[in-house]
């Protein structure tokens, strides 16, 4: 799940205090490993749907989304299946190329306008590594 936050530092502190560990992070976002479930907090101010996007590696991405992590074979199968259904897939790309956390990713909107991100990490152990 990806959610906006007001302070990456305060959010990180809260989650580590309740037993989560931190993964990849920058000044503007942090991945949290909440008992095996990935949450990303993006500094974008108070919860406000009028700020629906952020920029990462030069691409405009949806701030509000849930991340689904798949192995590469399943990711390719899901991508092909959704593409064949003529769904509007957003930003199929490789992020963090040649860095810790390199992954291929795409987004799709569900019928409720919620965004799902499907991603597959080049090195699965890097999901929560920084």
CB atoms within 10 A of CB 68: 14
Domain 2-126 architecture: Roll (3.10)
Q: What is the pLDDT of residue 45?
A: 67
Q: Report if pTM > 0.75.
A: no
Across 76-101, b (16+ Cβ under 10 Å) vs e yields eebbeebeeeeeeebeebebbeeeeb
| Locus of tokens 């949290």 | 32
Q: Over 80: is that where the pLDDT of 41 sits? A: yes
Burial 4-18 (b: 16+ CB within 10 A, else e): bbeebeebbeebeee
Q: Which residue has the higher pLDDT, 48 or 42?
A: 42
pLDDT of residue 17: 85
Domain map (residue ranges) of the chain: 2-126
Is residue 51 pLDDT above 70, yes or no? no
Q: Which residue has the higher pLDDT, 37 or 31?
A: 31
Lowest model confidence (mean pLDDT) among 17-21, 29-33, 71-75: 17-21
- Residue 66, pLDDT score: 76
Q: pLDDT tier at 84 (50, 70, 90 boundaries)?
A: confident
């Amino acid at each position: 799940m990806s959610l906006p936050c007001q302070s990456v530092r305060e959010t990180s502190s809260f989650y580590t205090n309740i037993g989560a560990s931190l993964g990849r992070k920058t000044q503007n976002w942090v991945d949290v490993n909440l008992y095996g479930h990935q949450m990303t907090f993006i500094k974008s101010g108070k919860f406000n749907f009028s700020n629906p996007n952020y920029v990462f590696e030069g691409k405009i991405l949806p701030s509000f989304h849930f991340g689904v992590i798949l192995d590469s074979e399943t990711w390719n199968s899901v991508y092909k299946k959704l593409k064949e259904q003529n769904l509007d897939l957003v930003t199929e790309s490789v992020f963090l190329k040649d860095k810790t956390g390199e992954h291929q990713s795409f987004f799709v909107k569900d019928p409720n306008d919620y965004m799902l991100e499907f991603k597959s990490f080049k090195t699965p152990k890097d999901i929560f590594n920084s």
